[in-house]
Chains A and B, each alone.
Chain A
Amino acid sequence: MTQSIIINGKKHAIDVDGNMPLLWFLRDQLELTGTKFGCGSGLCGACTVHVNGQAIRSCITPVSTLVGKKITTIEGLSEKGDHPLQRAWLNNNVPQCGYCQAGQIMNAASLLSVNAAPSSEEIDTAMQGNICRCGTYQRIKKAIVEAADTLSKEV
């Protein structure tokens, strides 16, 4: 019996070697390329997705460990691209090349889901696994604070 995995609400059969990291299953099998390859070793955060709402590095997570789990990628973070973080990212003109930003946003979303009002240090700690070589960190931080603020007003 083929095992399956739920990605952005859709069920997909795992028809590959179970050792294949989720990253490559997403990118090469499903052609969902929003999740990026940066280092392949859990060092840069470009490949961050959610498993049951929590951020993980998809480049070091074999698909076989995710049977029946719910995966959310950047493409599925919000229906209309209007998650408070996505809006805050646009408000603050965060992206330069933009390559790291899917991972940044997914990681930040996971942070806000467990800590609605993170302090500056808490943002640093949570986000330090995500590299941005273009150097957009100042804006990333501002955007996270802004999104947290929006969220607190929405409640």
Chain B
Amino acid sequence: MTISNVSRRDFLKTAGLATSGLVISVALPMNALAEKGIMKESAEEINAFIQIADNGDTVIYCGRCEMGQGISTALPSAVADEMEADWQRVTVKQGDADEKYGPQATGGSASIRVMFQPMREAGATAKAMLIAAAAKVWKTSPDNCFAQAHFVINKTNQQKLGYGELASIAANMPVPEKPTLKKKADFKYIGTALSRHDQDEVVVGKRIYGVDTKLPGLKYAAIIHCPVLGGALKSLDKTAALKMKGVSDVVEIPRFAIPFGSIGGVAVVADNSWTAQQAVKQLKIEWSLGENAIYDTKEYKQQLVKNVEKPATLASERGDIEKAFSTAKHKMSATYTGGHLSHAPMEPNASVVWVQKDSCEVWASTQSPADIQKVLGQYLERDPKDIIVHVAMAGGAFGRKFKCDYVHEAAVISQKTGSPIQLTWTREEDMRTGYYHSINAQHIEASMDENGNVTGWLHRAAFPSISTLFDPSLVRTPANSLDDITNHLFGVENCRVESGDAKAHTRIGWYRAVYAIFYGFAFSTFADELAYKAGKDSLSFVNQLLDNNKNKEQTAQVKRAKDILAIAANKSGWKNRDKLPEGQGIGLAVHYSFQSFVAMAVHVEVNGDDIKVLNVDCAIDCGQVLNLDGATAQMEGAVVMGMSLALSTEITFRGGAVVNSNFHDYPVMRITDMPNVRVHMPDSDESPTGLGEPGVAPFAPALSNAVFAASGKRYRDLPFKPMSV
């Protein structure tokens, strides 16, 4: 990592940063950020800027995208803490797409894991330079000075100099090689419950999201997409639409068959969004649907189940599973399934793009500005660097806004009409034109000895994988996507993992928690089923299963998983679960994903088919917690999303097209079902990891286990109570 003094550099001007005062940049080698193929180069790129103006105003530019996960508060607060800045004087700004920020792709719960230490060091660097500046003014040694709340103070005579007064002098000070970091006990912001930096704007309706962008001369577009992946426009009659008052254009958008390009559709341009939406309904369109028109999720799921209930393609193997099975005291098997999910963030896909002869400017909610540059660069045949992307606050994203088809489409429309275009997808289009969480089936067979030790584990998974976005010819999930099964913390000596056939018939994408949703569900639900079979209580059974892990490389992880599970169990009153009223039960689950450990204890009341979740105790170990309030919020949100997918949400395809259309047939959780969520975070000195995703995984299995404890009914299919659409 390199921290540099860039105060006088020319590029600050072009980036819109002031050129007086002190500006510090943080550059990480990109290979340190290599995240699941997002970044491969090993160049150094700047990830953040700290700017202290001559009046003391401090701006921290954060390159990571904000979508509600709180990153734009958490990371800058680490800078401010080390810098001894007064948080009230700090403004946080979202960096535009610029390779000077390095990888801005925001996903995989990686931001804090990767950026925490560099951001602290950057803050400490700024502090050291400000102190050096003050020492120079006072002709004293830096050791005779200390920093506090935006001032440097002279220990001898208590004189004070403000950061603003010092900024320009500090800009001429050498950058310290290894700045000293603060001790944990001295933190002011790190590890506290700092409020979101922008919430005062939210409550008065002044926070600007991607969908709120306004430009002079803006035209509004609405779109209807080809309902089936790979289909194309057969005929279009636009007469009626064009006759409508306020409608100016109808634009055909052919499929751009690269990852994250448009699926293809027809857009209408008008004076306002509503007119455009009405006009889309007047289009007479015939599609040729192509080969994916056979896609029917009900049949497909049944086929997946068949594919995992028979031998499939070997992905990994250790020990001798046949021997384990043939000498078993108990044997057991079960099959688990799950459906497609739509992210359905409250802000639908929207973007503003203005393509001109020699420029292209984008305003959009996005998780990956660099992908916008790449896709638009490719489409317009321009250098990706020349695509200017203003990263807007996203009204939720959950993985959907990693893909920029909705930006590509606005670029096509703008290029063809010459106007700046705001394209807003309707909710219906958002739900029907997704990058869905994979439909899936898993079959597990296990053997146990007379003491309830699991001796063999056969795990078959079949789901169309995200890799199909990049290689549509894949007929099954590649072995390396099943690594999280092979490396699961449960200690089983003899284990075989197989990949069942599962071709993709729609676009599959990352959805908050990704594969951990169904891996977590199968592992923790099956463990509970095994516990009953072995005649043990679920907590001691899972502990034993973890203790049996003899892999030295996983010893520390096993301990953390057990500790965190113990906390969730204790807080939920697990010990006294026998005393719960009739019809109530507690279920447990622990899952390790994205390098964080999350355990949940779900307490339910079951009445016939009616499942009421009363309490959820979440225990998390994500190392040192940067923002207590943000971490708590992420867990509350994970419970809500976990509950939606466990109980009710599922995307259904028939004839190749999505049947669901809006929140009436994609019933996400509402306030009436909100349980009491308690979040427990033990103090930790481990390096921090992320929390955006890992919280979602343990909810569904803990719920299945709780319902079984309460009623004896076992749910193995997500969602438990699908709506028929």
Residues of A within 8 A of B (CB): 16-17, 20-21, 24, 27-29, 31, 33-41, 43-44, 46, 73-75, 77, 81, 86, 89-90, 93-102, 105, 123-125, 127-128, 130-141
Asked if residues B346 and A75 are in contact (CB atoms below 8 Å), the reply is no
Q: B598-636, CB under 8 A of A: which get 1 and which 0?
A: 000000000000000000000000000000010001001
Residues from 665 to 695 in B contacting A, C-beta threshold 8 Å: 668-672, 674, 676-677
| Distance in angstroms between the alpha carbons of A93 and B217 in the assembled complex | 37
Could you write out 9 A-B pairs with CB less than 8 Å apart? A36-B346, A40-B427, A44-B427, A96-B70, A96-B633, A96-B637, A105-B203, A127-B671, A138-B676
* Chain A residue nearest to B199 in the complex (CB): A95
Residue from B346, B398, B629 having most chain A Cβ neighbours under 10 A: B346
* Contact between chains at A81 and B200 (CB < 8 Å): yes
Chain B residue at minimum C-beta to C-beta distance from A43: B663
User: Closest approach, in angstroms, between the C-beta of A155 and any C-beta of chain B?
Assistant: 23
Chain B residue contacts of A139, Cβ below 8 A = 633, 636
**A28-B67 in contact (CB<8A):** no
Contact with A along B167-199 (1 / 0, CB 8 A): 000000000000000000000000001011011
* Contact in complex: A27, B205 (CB < 8 Å): no
Residue in A31, A37, A105 whose CB lies within 8 Å of B348 = A37
A27→B272 CA distance, assembly (Å): 9
Having A34-B206, A97-B345, A135-B636, one finds 20 other A-B pairs with CB under 8 Å, namely A24-B274, A28-B272, A28-B273, A33-B208, A33-B211, A35-B205, A37-B211, A38-B346, A40-B426, A75-B205, A75-B206, A77-B204, A95-B199, A95-B203, A99-B345, A100-B395, A131-B670, A134-B640, A137-B671, A139-B633
Question: Hey, which bits of chain B sit against chain A, CB under 8 A?
Answer: 67-70, 193, 195-196, 198-200, 202-209, 211-212, 214, 220, 245-246, 271-275, 277, 344-348, 393-398, 424, 426-427, 629, 633, 636-641, 662-664, 668-672, 674, 676-677
Q: Is the CB of A131 within 8 A of B275?
A: no
CA A131 to CA B345, docked complex, whole Å? 10
**B273 adjacent to A134 (CB under 8 Å):** no
Instruction: State the Cβ distance, B341 to closest chain A Cβ, in Å.
Output: 12
Quick one: which of A24, A41, A43, A93 has the most chain B CB within 10 A? A93
The answer for the CA separation of A77 and B202 in the assembled complex, in Å, is: 13
> Is the beta-carbon distance between A97 and B394 smaller than 8 angstroms?
yes
Residues of B within 8 A of A74 (CB): 203-205
Find out whether the CB atom of A133 lies under 8 angstroms from the CB atom of B344.
yes
A17 and B247 CA atoms in complex are apart in Å by 13
- Which chain A residues lie closer than 8 Å to B206 at the CB level? 34, 75
Taking a contact as CB atoms under 8 Å apart, the answer to whether B203 and A89 are in contact is yes
A134–B671 alpha-carbon span in the complex (Å): 12
- 10 nearest A-B pairs in the assembled complex, by CB-CB distance: A34-B205, A135-B640, A97-B68, A99-B395, A74-B205, A98-B202, A135-B637, A24-B274, A33-B212, A28-B272
Question: How distant is the Cα of A73 from the Cα of B206 in the complex, in angstroms?
Answer: 12
- Cα A118 to Cα B375 in complex, Å, equals 51
Residue among A29, A81, A125 with most chain B CB within 10 A = A81
Assembled-state Cα–Cα distance A121/B64 (Å): 40
Chain B residues within 8 Å of A33, by CB: 205, 208, 211-212, 214
Count chain A CB atoms within 10 A of each CB in B67, B195, B427, B638 and give the residue with the most. B427
Chain A residues, CB < 8 A from B677: 138
CA A131 – CA B490 in complex, angstroms? Answer: 37
Task: Determine if B346 and A44 form an interchain contact, defined as CB atoms under 8 angstroms apart.
Answer: yes
Within 8 Å by CB of A90, from B200, B245, B345, B633, lies: B200
Decide if A132 touches B346 in the complex (CB within 8 Å): yes
Residues of A within 8 A of B202 (CB): 89, 95, 98, 101-102
- Which residues on A sit within 8 Å (CB–CB) of B208? 33
Residue in A31, A75, A98, A138 with the greatest tally of chain B CB atoms within 10 Å: A98
User: Across the interface, which residues of A come within 8 angstroms of B70, CB to CB?
Assistant: 96
Kindly provide the distance from the CB of A59 to the nearest chain B CB, expressed in whole angstroms: 9
- Whole-angstrom distance between the alpha carbons of A34 and B208 in the complex? 8
Contact (Cβ within 8 A) B345 A133: yes
Most buried by B among A28, A100, A136: A28
Contact of A141 among B393, B394, B674 (CB under 8 A): B674
Q: In the complex, which residues of chain B have a beta carbon less than 8 angstroms from the beta carbon of A132?
A: 346, 640, 671
- Given that A90-B195, A98-B207 are contacting pairs, would A24 and B272 also be in contact in the complex, using a CB cutoff of 8 Å? yes
